[in-house]
Amino acid sequence: MFCESNKELKTLVEEARTYTKDGKVADYIPALGKANPNDLSIAINYPDGHCVSAGDVSEKFTLQSISKVISLALVLIDRGSKEVFEHVGMEPTGDPFNSIAKLETMIPAKPLNPMINAGALVVTHLLKGSTNDEKLDRLLAFIQTLANDSTIGYSEEIARSEYETADLNRALCYFLKQHNRMNEDVEQLLNLYTKQCAIEMNCLHLARIGMVFAMDGVDPETSKQVIPKEVARICKTFMVTCGMYNASGEFAINIGIPAKSGVAGGIMGAVPGRFGIGIFGPALDDKGNSIAGIKLLEMLSKNYRLSMF
């Protein structure tokens, strides 16, 4: 994928990079601990095919929680919003992404939204396919279309590393199963979920996917509606209300762009009607969001008046 390196963006990246020292790479998934905390890259993808970037854009990373927006889009396409929202709610939690606290306070137990782990596990369990391989292949094919790259796959090392250590997510699944929110074999579901989270790409791909969401689901290169407009709208709304977890309110005020983060350090942004943004910066703040990535978005939003509010 060709993307022109851009001087202005480079200046912003170097300024934002100074914040990486205040963050920490995620290591609760041991294989993620190998990332270089100083890395920072960004790409902006426009609907006319133009792309500008700065930093080492060839650096690959795993989607982690960013995959939750994309699996939600696919499940909404497959099953429709009525069925999906019988299983998962629409409200932000104000809690960390892996929190179990609010699940027990909901009767019947229903995860508050699809961006927290409990909700994402329910969404992954709704992916269509008769085997895990079939479900993963469908999700990968969807992501390959959005990113316009048929070579995108997942990191076996990172998927395994998460699977072997995902006891909190196991606990969430058993809780949900006990309360009849899902009937799937927990190990099978974790196997699929950890592979979904380990889907790997660079920030150029991520910016392209963000651009398709920004353009209401239309791929401008083919003029095809690859995500129905209504599904893209729902996903972008979740990105605003829950995309940055318990930092979503502050992010909406300071930056005002639908965005989704992941603990590997990725952030996907979708500036409605304008362009997609892909960022990779693995040093995280205490809420699990890329610390320099947020600074970079803050500068971009202020300099170019990107807030939608």
- Which residues from 158-187 bind ligand DON, rule CB under 6 A? 162, 169
65 carries an active-site annotation: yes
Whose CA is closest to 102, among 92, 117, 112, 114? Answer: 112
- Residues 70/143, Cβ–Cβ less than 8 Å: yes
Q: Is 251 in the site for ligand DON (CB under 6 A)?
A: no
Q: Which is nearer to ligand DON, 97 or 142 (CB)?
A: 97
Considering the complex, what minimum distance in angstroms separates the CB of residue 283 from ligand DON?
A: 13
For residue 94, what are its two tokens? 């104000």
Q: Is 246 in the site for ligand DON (CB under 6 A)?
A: no
Which residue among 84, 240, 263, 271 is the active-site one?
Answer: 263
263 carries an active-site annotation: yes
Considering the complex, what minimum distance in angstroms separates the CB of residue 281 from ligand DON?
A: 13
Which residue among 41, 135, 245, 301 is the active-site one?
Answer: 245
Q: Does residue 65 have a known ligand-binding role?
A: yes
Considering the complex, what minimum distance in angstroms separates the CB of residue 62 from ligand DON?
A: 8
Side-chain-side CA neighbours of residue 191 (13 Å): 10
Q: What whole-number distance in Å separates Cα of residue 157 and Cα of residue 123?
A: 23
Q: Does residue 169 have a known ligand-binding role?
A: yes
Pattern 206-245, ligand DON, x by CB under 6 A: ----------------------------------------
| Alpha-helical runs (H) found in 89-166 | 117-125, 132-147, 156-165
H/E stretch holding 266 reads: strand 266-271
- Residues 186/170, Cβ–Cβ less than 8 Å: yes
68 carries an active-site annotation: yes
Among 71, 99, 261, 301, binds ligand DON (CB under 6 A): 261
67 carries an active-site annotation: no
Q: What whole-number distance in Å separates Cα of residue 205 and Cα of residue 70?
A: 13
Q: Which is nearer to ligand DON, 162 or 216 (CB)?
A: 162
Which of the ranges 148-156, 210-218, 256-264, 300-308 carries the binding residues for ligand DON, by CB under 6 A? 256-264
Q: Is 248 in the site for ligand DON (CB under 6 A)?
A: no
- Residues 177/183, Cβ–Cβ less than 8 Å: yes
122 carries an active-site annotation: no
Q: Does residue 154 have a known ligand-binding role?
A: no
For residue 233, what are its two tokens? 């709208």
Among 1, 6, 24, 98, binds ligand DON (CB under 6 A): 98
Side-chain-side CA neighbours of residue 147 (13 Å): 27
- Residues 199/152, Cβ–Cβ less than 8 Å: yes
List the binding residues for substrate: 65, 117, 162, 169, 193, 245, 263
Chain residues in the site for ligand DON (CB under 6 A): 64-65, 97-98, 117, 162, 169, 197, 261-263, 288
Active site residues: 65, 68, 193, 245, 263
